[in-house]
Each structure stands twice: as structure tokens, then as C-alpha cells.
């Protein structure tokens, strides 16, 4: 899953980035409200961690703009303020949760999982399944019956994306935006390489699940007869 951090305290943003990456999230961090809006409107993020006090555009204005555009990405507000009125303002404008600094990493991760559950997303610690495959996004282990294999992070993120989208076809452009970011210079052959890696590991597991190529469109998971 891909998380956007919009936080002008650079040391805090860097610390949050490391915590989330350690827990196998993909993370982008920006340090002003306008950049946060530009990134958030790309539609590639599963959740936003949004500070209220930001340069160029404050967090509340950013949140209001996102909701006005119809972007329903879960948002957890981060702020040094602790007054009830600030919490009410954020929640009234569409925030999913609110955390006052300082906070523990364990509580943050728990609140993120809760926000994702409310949206109906699959939370990493719960694991994902498709056909006879089970992907543990916490350990990066892919299991089929009594066999398992370790994936690297990008392989896990790619398979997670395909599993989450179920029978919907996923284009190479969507994969690049989700795994590397919307401003990435990664090319289509990078996607093809990781698709090839996954196919080999699924074959090793003797899985009935296949990654089917829809020529000119993208990829979709299917269970072989």
C-alpha cells in the first residue's frame, strides 16, 4: 500500500517514512500543502498522513479541496494542537482520524489499519488471498498449500495490487504509478521484469493462479481450470 505524508517538520517526516517502510508500506513525503495537494490528487495513495499547520496551503484547506474534488482517500490529521475544536474541524471536513503530536508509532500503525478497514481495504497484517495463494504483506511470504517462498518488496507490492483488484485488469501505467509514484521515470519493461519474477515464483509453488496478459491493456489474475 502507498502512503503520502504531508508534513513540514522534515525530521518527523523522515522518521515516519522509515517507520512505514519498515512495516512494508510504500511512502512518499512532501513538506508543503500545495505539493501535498498535487500528489494527493494523483489518486495513487491508499492513505494520507496530513499535518494541519503547513506552508503554502494549510492541511484543512487541502483536505476540503480533496473532498470537494470527490477524492475519498482516508486521511489521518497530524498536529501539535490538541484542542477539541481543532479535532472537530478536521473531522467535519472529511478527516477519518486525528492524532496529536507526539504519538507512538504503534498507535499510528493501528489507526492506519483501522482507517483502511473502514474504507474496505485489505490491511497488510490480515494477509491477502486469491485462488490457492496467500500473501502475507507483513513477512513478504507467498504461500500455496504447504509450500512458501519469500518475495522482495516490489514483488509483494505488485501481487498485492493485482490481488486487491481481483478480476479487474491493471495497466502498466497503473502499476508504475502505484509502485513507483506518478512522477517516476520507470519504464514499462521494469513492470514486465517483476511480472516475470512473480510468474516464476508462482510456478515454483505449483499454484493454479496465473498472471494473464491482456495485450495492449494490462494484467489480471486468473485461476486455471
- What percent of the chain has a predicted confidence (pLDDT) above 90? 52
> Cβ distance 128 to 122 under 8 Å?
yes
pLDDT tens by residue, 114-156: 888 776 554 445 578 899 999 988 788 999 999 999 999 889 9
What gap in Å lies between CA 26 and CA 92, rounded to an integer? Answer: 28
Domain range list for the chain:
2-119, 127-223
What gap in Å lies between CA 73 and CA 71, rounded to an integer? Answer: 6
What gap in Å lies between CA 196 and CA 101, rounded to an integer? Answer: 44
Position 143 scores a pLDDT of 94
pLDDT tens by residue, 84-119: 666 777 778 888 898 888 889 999 999 998 888 776
Position 124 scores a pLDDT of 47
> Cβ distance 39 to 4 under 8 Å?
yes
Task: State the fold for domain 2-119.
Answer: Rossmann fold (3.40.50)
CATH, domain range 127-223? 1.10.10.10
Amino acid at each position: 500500500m502507498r502512503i503520502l505524508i504531508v508534513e513540514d517538520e522534515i525530521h518527523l517526516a523522515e522518521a515516519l517514512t522509515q517507520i512505514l517502510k519498515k512495516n512494508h508500506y510504500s511512502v512518499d513525503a512532501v513538506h508543503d500543502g500545495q505539493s501535498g495537494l498535487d500528489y494527493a490528487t494523483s489518486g495513487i495513495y491508499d492513505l494520507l498522513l496530513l499535518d494541519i499547520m503547513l506552508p503554502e496551503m494549510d492541511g484543512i484547506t487541502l483536505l476540503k479541496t480533496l473532498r470537494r474534488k470527490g477524492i475519498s482517500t482516508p486521511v489521518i490529521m497530524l498536529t501539535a494542537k490538541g484542542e477539541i475544536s481543532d479535532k472537530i474541524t478536521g473531522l467535519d471536513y472529511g478527516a477519518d482520524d486525528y492524532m496529536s503530536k507526539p504519538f507512538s508509532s504503534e498507535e499510528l500503525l493501528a489507526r492506519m489499519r483501522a482507517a483502511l478497514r473502514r474504507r474496505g481495504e485489505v490491511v497488510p497484517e490480515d494477509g491477502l488471498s486469491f485462488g490457492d495463494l496467500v500473501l502475507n504483506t507483513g513477512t513478504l511470504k507467498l504461500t500455496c498449500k504447504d509450500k512458501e517462498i519469500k518475495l522482495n518488496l516490489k514483488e509483494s507490492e505488485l501481487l498485492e495490487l493485482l490481488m486487491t483488484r481481483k478480476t479487474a485488469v491493471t495497466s502498466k501505467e497503473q502499476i508504475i504509478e502505484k509502485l513507483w509514484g506518478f512522477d517516476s521515470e520507470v519504464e514499462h519493461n521494469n513492470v514486465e521484469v517483476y511480472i516475470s519474477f512473480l510468474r516464476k515464483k508462482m510456478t515454483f509453488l505449483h499454484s493454479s493462479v496465473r498472471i494473464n496478459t491482456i495485450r495492449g491493456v494490462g494484467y489480471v489474475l486468473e485461476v486455471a481450470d
